[in-house]
Amino acid sequence: MSAQLAVLAALDWDLPYWAVTLIKVLVAALLVPTTALILGIVFLFKIMSWMQSRLGPQEAGPKGLLQLLADGVKFLQKEDVIPERADRFAFKVAPMIVLVSTFLLYVIIPAGPDPAVIADLPTGIFFALAVSSLSVIGVLMAGWASANKYALMGGIRAAGQLIAYELPMVLAVVGVIIQAGTLNMNGIVVAQANFKLFGDVGPGIPFIITQLPMFLIFLAAMQAELTQPPFDMPVAESELVSGYQVEYTGFRFLFFFLAEFATAFAFGAIASVLFLGGWYLPGLDVNSEWFWLIGPAVLFAKIMLVSFLIFWFRFTYPRLREDQLQRLAWKWLIPISLVWLAVTAVFKVVM
Amino acid sequence: MTGTVLAAAPVYLPQQIAFGLIAVTMIVAAIRVVTTKNVVHAALWLIVVLAGVAAQFIVLASEFVAVTQVLVYIGAIVVLFLFGVMLTRAPIGKEVELDNEPAQRVVGAVVALFLLACMGYVLADYFGGRKLELNGKVVAELGGTTAQISDSIFSTYLVPFEVVSVLLLAALIGAIVLARRD
């Protein structure tokens, strides 16, 4: 996250608009692969192997930490195969659309007070929900353009799942929005810094205390949006080989991999901001300039905590069947979130 | 345009250029939607058109409407188009029977031109003599921010909002009733 600090230093020098924009874009471009690497190494390789009582990668670098980097270089060297009957243009563009949707998510994540965010949009979280839904189009294009029935089935399953789980995700977010009274990401953090449960005493309380059901629903919906186990019907290896990714090789496959893990990190950041107070540490003054320095570290720690939860689920639970998956979304998550939304609205008006 | 007009009203050159580029992209994409021989490609070109609409809203400093446009039209409606098309019949490559008969094309062209004339006349009639200054501050005063939009939906336009909600609910229930066999 030190790249974020570089942005802050740059802003103090009164750089022109284009220079600041350029730096911010470069930071986002660096953050996407870096965060994907961090999550991949820490969780996919190390913690997963510990949970399964095995060693995991050992050879590449100290304790096998460079394994994923080596894998990335390997992907770059592979031949770029496009199936003969594929729709070439859609096939090539699809992974890029998925990755662009990930990049756009990083735009609104605040790593500290105002200048430490790429664009502090007034519609912050709404923007995030909109751009995260763009990845569905890339997935559908990939599934269709591959000219492979397993890929097409994977794409359609992915679309059905993403549509179903977008609703509980939006409703979970709306609960927080009602309580915070703003769509702006930094506004939500400040609202949690000022939120007191009993009168006016004590430190600011993160919304997870009042929105615990919404937090759990958000985690489940996030897992489904990332198509990670137990919600990995679209890429189910045992039935569909690997779903919409089956015909992709080399760096195009790497795009999907990067997008999945970088999106996991971005959603972890959004969950941290919405429910855990983002870059704010309870007990400190929210206006303190120290948050430009420690904010990114605090946010990073919270993201790793949320990521640990979702990856723990990923390694522990077996895959849901398609009907179980749809039933969970429509018959459990959406009604519960609607009820909690009503409760939140009542308390917001009464208190 | 004459020189006096240019001097009187501030011209936001970057916005004009952006408007032109986006508009040309949208027109090309819209023509491709109806001329392409592949039904999935038509849906993908439609994404370009709808993204262009969102971009035009951003040029007009209406961020909330632009994001809504992306969320509703690209993120939901086109996805459902693609989903439905791929679930039923979507071969890769050109399709011959996608074209309609010449008589239908003529009717389509007439309707399109009629709509263009109607909307062009209405817009020119209403906005012809007006100057809209489009920067963030003015838009905020006109009511373009999220808070102002929600305020007007839930006060001035409350009844239309509720009517639309009931209409959509009726459509939803109707779809379920039609789709269920038992």
Cβ contacts of A136 on chain B, cutoff 8 Å: 75, 79
The partner residue sitting opposite B71, judged by closest CB among A85, A129, A140, is: A129
Q: B64 with B83, same domain?
A: yes
- The answer to whether the CB atoms of B40 and A129 lie below 8 A apart is no
Query: How high is the pLDDT of residue B4?
Result: 42
Q: Is B168 inside a domain boundary?
A: yes
Q: Is B75 inside a domain boundary?
A: yes
Cβ contacts of A160 on chain B, cutoff 8 Å: 83
Query: How high is the pLDDT of residue B115?
Result: 94
Cβ contacts of B93 on chain A, cutoff 8 Å: 87
**B39-59 helix and A135-145 helix, angle to the nearest 10 degrees:** 160
Q: Could you give the percent of chain B with pLDDT greater than 70? A: 82
CA distances from A173 to A170, A177, A235, A304, B125 (A): 5, 6, 27, 20, 43
* DSSP structure class, residue A290: T
Q: B19 with B82, same domain?
A: yes
Task: Return the top range by mean pLDDT from A29-38, A51-60, B93-102, B155-164.
Answer: B155-164
Rounded Cα distance, A290 and A307, in Å: 25
- The answer to whether the CB atoms of B44 and A133 lie below 8 A apart is no
Q: Is B7 inside a domain boundary?
A: no
Domain extent, residue A84, equals 3-338
3-state secondary structure of B38: coil
* Partner A contacted by B77 (CB < 8 A): no
Q: Are B54 and B77 a contacting pair, CB within 8 Å? A: no
Q: Is B8 inside a domain boundary?
A: no
Q: Is A348 inside a domain boundary?
A: no
pLDDT of residue B9 exceeding 70? no
Rounded Cα distance, A238 and A337, in Å: 33
* Partner A contacted by B70 (CB < 8 A): yes
Instruction: Give the mean model confidence (pLDDT) for residues B105-127.
Output: 90
- The answer to whether the CB atoms of B74 and A133 lie below 8 A apart is yes
Q: Is B138 inside a domain boundary?
A: no
- List, in order, residues 6 or more apart from A204 with CB less than 8 Å away: A192, A193, A194, A195, A196, A277, A280, A282, A286
Q: B56 with B114, same domain?
A: no
Q: B26 with B113, same domain?
A: no
Instruction: Give the mean model confidence (pLDDT) for residues B123-139.
Output: 69
Domain extent, residue B175, equals 14-98+145-179
What long-range pairs does A207-210 form, CB within 8 A, spacing at least 24? A207/A176, A207/A179, A207/A180, A207/A274, A207/A275, A207/A277, A208/A275, A208/A276, A210/A179, A210/A344, A210/A347
* DSSP structure class, residue A272: H
* Partner A contacted by B74 (CB < 8 A): yes
Tally of structural domains, chain A: 1
Output the CA angle A304-A69-A271, nearest 5 degrees: 20
Q: Are A222 and A173 a contacting pair, CB within 8 Å? A: no
* DSSP structure class, residue A198: S
Q: Is A350 inside a domain boundary?
A: no
Query: How high is the pLDDT of residue B119?
Result: 92
pLDDT band for position B6 (50/70/90)?
Answer: very low
Tally of structural domains, chain B: 2
Q: B126 with B164, same domain?
A: no
Query: How high is the pLDDT of residue B83?
Result: 85
Instruction: Give the mean model confidence (pLDDT) for residues B64-70.
Output: 88
Q: B79 with B28, same domain?
A: yes
Q: Is A344 inside a domain boundary?
A: no
* pLDDT digit string, tens, across residues A63-95: 777 888 888 888 888 888 888 888 888 888 889
Tokens representing A144?
A: 């269709």
Q: Is A343 inside a domain boundary?
A: no
Q: Is B79 inside a domain boundary?
A: yes
Q: Is A73 inside a domain boundary?
A: yes
Nearest chain A residue to B79 by CA distance is A137
CA distances from B114 to A193, A253, B147 (A): 57, 48, 37
- The nearest CA of chain A is from the CA of B152 a distance in Å of 17
Q: B89 with B128, same domain?
A: no
The partner residue sitting opposite A136, judged by closest CB among B38, B70, B79, is: B79
- The nearest CA of chain A is from the CA of B103 a distance in Å of 32
| pTM of the predicted model over 0.90 | no
Q: B121 with B150, same domain?
A: no
CATH number of domain containing B173: 1.20.120.1200
Q: Is A288 inside a domain boundary?
A: yes
Query: How high is the pLDDT of residue A287?
Result: 74
Output the CA angle A72-A75-A76, nearest 5 degrees: 90
Q: Are A242 and A235 a contacting pair, CB within 8 Å? A: yes
* Partner A contacted by B67 (CB < 8 A): yes
Rounded Cα distance, B72 and B68, in Å: 6
Tokens representing A175?
A: 């609960």
Q: B85 with B165, same domain?
A: yes
Q: Is B170 inside a domain boundary?
A: yes
3-state secondary structure of B172: helix
Rounded Cα distance, A258 and A34, in Å: 9
- List, in order, residues 6 or more apart from A290 with CB less than 8 Å away: A284
- The answer to whether the CB atoms of B86 and A156 lie below 8 A apart is yes
* Partner A contacted by B7 (CB < 8 A): no
- The nearest CA of chain B is from the CA of A201 a distance in Å of 30
Q: Is B34 inside a domain boundary?
A: yes
pLDDT in tens, chain A (351 residues): 455 555 555 555 567 778 878 888 888 888 888 888 888 878 887 888 888 888 878 787 787 778 888 888 888 888 888 888 888 888 888 899 998 898 888 888 888 777 777 878 888 888 999 998 888 888 888 888 888 888 888 888 888 888 888 889 999 999 899 888 888 888 888 888 887 776 666 777 888 888 888 999 999 998 888 888 788 877 777 777 777 888 888 888 888 888 888 898 899 999 999 888 888 887 777 777 777 778 888 888 888 899 888 888 888 888 888 888 888 888 899 999 999 999 988 888 887
- The answer to whether the CB atoms of A87 and B92 lie below 8 A apart is yes
Q: B71 with B32, same domain?
A: yes
Q: What share of chain A is helix, strand, coil (3-state, %, to 5)?
A: 70, 0, 30
Q: Could you give the percent of chain B with pLDDT greater than 90? A: 27
Which of A50, A99, A131 lies closest to A258, judged by CA?
Answer: A99
Residues from A contacting B (CB-CB < 8 Å) are 85-87, 90, 121-123, 126-127, 129-131, 133-134, 136-137, 140-141, 143-145, 147, 152, 155-156, 159-160, 162-163, 166, 183
Rounded Cα distance, A42 and A263, in Å: 16
Q: B106 with B161, same domain?
A: no
The partner residue sitting opposite B75, judged by closest CB among A86, A133, A155, is: A133
Query: How high is the pLDDT of residue B137?
Result: 60
Find the radius of gyration of the CA atoms of chain A.
21
Q: B79 with B42, same domain?
A: yes
Q: Is A167 inside a domain boundary?
A: yes
Query: How high is the pLDDT of residue B8?
Result: 46
